[in-house]
């Protein structure tokens, strides 16, 4: 069916071009079991036999990144127009395991999975959610830069669930100055988004797989779940699919050092990011590594790799 534009249309389709993006990146320890639970809940939807694969996290860490996009260019609609924004997300790396006769076999394909993104531009928030399935929320950012990466990123949440409770704008991520030495930066031969990977810190089951991966700065895949709630039966989704996208890196600079920081992730009744990652909420954390980077990249083709056709009642007890 033909997509019909509505008044004030914001569902802008890819491709998009992002020149001169400034990135502050911080790697944080996470719990591999909690990351697997997150993948099972969000990416491994439906039935394995029909899906034919499952995603598994391969590293016991996540990357928290704060980005400034000076310009975000649309290719199709509105043609030639652009917006700008700040963005904060958490990223983990996942590998696809194929179902081969009931045996799950890794295919060596590593993808990026972002379970939450906060953005300062409403056009980006709406298009990211409705078109691409990225779980974006509108966020408020304190000023930040390479020299001054300290910031607070806030969004609207409910601190409790109950009659008379109203939403409040609360900090989700806080980055403050820290005493002591700054966390290490990756070696110059490492690339974004991979950064430094210490094989010895990885689960033994994944070490051989990681050694076989050839991280490249030229492109990387992203996976996410796109879904829409069924208005006639709110516990159901009227559409649910796993989407895979490709990002091409056009130009990339060198890793640059950042001052020493400490980071805190707060959880609330309606937003439990830290808990989902296996990170203690409300506790100051020291990054494993950190860096500043400037690069330009291009967000291209997005395709569904699985559409969930199951009805909710097939799992109803």
For 65-88, write each residue's pLDDT tens digit. Answer: 999 999 999 877 777 789 999 999
Average pLDDT over residues 192-220: 72
Q: pLDDT tens across 229-261, in order? A: 999 888 899 999 999 999 999 899 999 999 999
| Structure confidence by residue, pLDDT tens digits, 8-22 | 888 888 899 999 999
User: Does the domain spanning 16-315 belong to CATH 1.10.3720.10?
Assistant: no
Give pLDDT, residue 81: 87
Dist. CA 289–CA 251, nearest whole Å: 22
| Mean pLDDT, range 96-114, rounded to an integer | 90
Q: Quick one: average pLDDT of 220-230?
A: 94
Cα-based distances in Å from 87 to 73, 114, 127, 312: 16, 12, 14, 34
Over 60: is that where the pLDDT of 48 sits?
yes
Q: How far apart are CA 276 and CA 216, in angstroms?
A: 28
Looking at every residue in the chain, the average pLDDT score rounds to 91
Q: Which residue has the tokens 């694969």?
A: 53
Q: Is the pLDDT of residue 169 over 80?
A: yes
**What residues does each domain of the chain span?**
16-315
State the pLDDT confidence band at 317, using cuts at 50, 70 and 90. Answer: very low
| 281-300 residue pLDDT tens | 999 999 999 999 999 999 98
Least confident of 74-88, 124-138, 175-189, 274-288: 74-88
Whether the pLDDT of residue 206 is over 80: the answer is no
Per-residue confidence (pLDDT) for residue 194, from 0 to 100: 83
**Burial letters 60-84, b for 16+ CB under 10 A, else e:** bbbbbbbbbbeebbbeeeeeeeebe
Task: Give the pLDDT of residue 108.
Answer: 76
Indicate the burial class of 115 (C-beta count within 10 angstroms; 0-12, 13-18, 19 or more): buried
Q: How many CB atoms lie under 10 A from the CB of residue 153?
A: 23
């Amino acid at each position: 069916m033909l997509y019909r534009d509505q008044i004030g249309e914001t569902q802008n389709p890819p491709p998009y071009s992002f020149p001169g993006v400034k990135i502050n990146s911080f790697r944080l320890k996470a719990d591999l079991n909690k990351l697997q639970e997150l993948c099972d809940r969000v990416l491994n939807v439906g039935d394995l036999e029909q899906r034919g694969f499952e995603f598994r996290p391969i590293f016991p860490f996540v990357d928290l990144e704060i980005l400034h996009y000076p310009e975000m260019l649309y290719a199709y609609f509105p043609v030639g127009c652009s917006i700008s924004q700040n963005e904060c997300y958490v990223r983990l790396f996942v590998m696809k395991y194929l179902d081969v006769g009931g045996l799950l076999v890794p295919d060596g394909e590593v993808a990026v999975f972002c379970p939450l993104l906060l953005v300062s531009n409403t056009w980006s928030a709406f298009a990211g959610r409705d078109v691409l399935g990225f779980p974006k929320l509108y966020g408020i950012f304190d000023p930040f830069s390479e020299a001054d990466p300290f910031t607070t990123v806030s969004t609207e949440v409910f601190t409790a669930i109950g009659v008379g409770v109203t939403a409040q704008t609360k900090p989700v991520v806080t980055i403050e100055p820290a005493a002591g030495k700054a966390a290490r930066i990756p070696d110059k031969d490492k690339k974004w988004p991979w950064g430094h990977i210490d094989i010895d810190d990885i689960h033994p089951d994944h070490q051989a797989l990681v050694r076989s991966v050839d991280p490249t700065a030229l492109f990387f895949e992203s996976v996410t779940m796109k879904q829409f709630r069924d208005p006639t039966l709110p516990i159901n989704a009227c559409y649910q699919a796993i989407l895979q996208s490709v990002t091409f890196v056009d130009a990339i600079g060198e890793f640059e050092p950042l001052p020493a920081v400490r980071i805190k992730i707060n959880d609330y009744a309606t937003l439990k990011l830290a808990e989902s990652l296996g990170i203690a909420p409300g506790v100051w954390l020291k990054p494993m590594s950190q860096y500043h980077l400037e690069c330009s990249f291009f967000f291209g083709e997005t395709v569904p790799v699985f559409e969930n056709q199951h009805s909710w009642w097939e799992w109803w007890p």
